Structure 1
Amino acid sequence: MDEEHHTEVDGVEATWRPAHLDDRKIEIMKVHNISGGTEQDVMFAPGTDLVAARERFPALGPLWDKVRAEFWVWLSPAPHVSVSNRGEGRRWD
């Protein structure tokens, strides 16, 4: 999957996507300072997963936590409400 996502915390943005070989893993592609600070962008080697990025940059823990949370929201589709006209009311699909 080539679907890119962007997650921001405190003026730092991570670009990530579900891993190509296992879409249950997160591939980190880049970290970019969007707050105008002097920190340089960090480009990650292809295939760098969230665990390796966290180990390399532990100070970005809140960013990694939010990436993981957004990944799980993406991975788990929201339940849908269906309404029946036969008096059954609402049910969660």
Structure 2
Amino acid sequence: MVFADEPTGALDIRSARDVLTLLRRLADQGQTIIMVTHDPVAASYSDEVLFLADGSLIDRLARPTAGDVANRMAVLVESAERDSTVWSR
């Protein structure tokens, strides 16, 4: 099992692509990869994306594109902001 915490966070685009391609290749060979990232492009290399908020699983996407991930993140952030506004009144 490989744990990767923001594996592309401080990399240039080319190096990030190389790392993600390597992780994808390992996954295709049967290696389990668990990656934490806020980067929709990095997340799009995965089989499934799990969205967590405050320690809870709140959503998931199978075989996502970077656009799918970015859109879902935007909706979840908007929802969280709306909910926090309601509670702060």
Q: Which has the higher helix share?
A: 2
Q: Which has the higher strand share?
A: 1
Which is higher, the Rg of structure 1 or of structure 2?
Answer: 1
Normalised by the length of structure 2, the TM-score is 0.32
